[in-house]
Structure 1
Amino acid sequence: MDDATRTELEAAAFRRLRDHLQARSDVQNIDMMNLAGFCRNCLSRWYQEAAAERGIDMGKEDAREAFYGMPYAEWRAAHQTEASDDQKAAFAESHKHAT
């Protein structure tokens, strides 16, 4: 497989993941962090970092809007719930060695 095709396939898979997570707004970011070690915010940050590596000036909120499909504050108001004590404890445990 040539590099261009591989890049196209990776981009298509990323877009499908983005679209899937937009459709699954019931899945909370903290649950993703606890189970997988990343969340929508991580993905939007990686998107922002990829833009910066290519000399594209993209702010944090612009990257989040590109990933969430709407302004982050709007998404939070519509979909994010307060984390439970169990979720917070699981997050603290899974990230206690993170630097």
Structure 2
Amino acid sequence: MQATNQSASAKPLSIRINRVLYGAFVLLSLYFFLNGSYQDAASNLGLALIFDPFNQMVRWENRPRWQRAWLLVHLLVMAGIGLVYWKTFSA
């Protein structure tokens, strides 16, 4: 029983940490974008996806549509970065 209480109290802390790190990567992405370093901005926006700011216990099907759309934008950014690197290094 005690282990269950410890894990329950750890969840809000990890959610807060994820949100802080997510926000930091999004702000860093915005900084690079405003300075004209678009590739760095895109990579930092893609890395922000690692720190899912939403409740990770909610299944994909049960998430609100706007959350799914936002996470898919991150995924598309990562796919775009991969395409750019693939074209750059395959030549």
Q: Between Structure 1 and Structure 2, which shows a larger proportion of helix residues?
A: 2
Larger of the two Rg values belongs to structure: 2
Tell me if TM exceeds 0.5: no
Q: Name the TM-score, length of structure 2 as normaliser.
A: 0.43
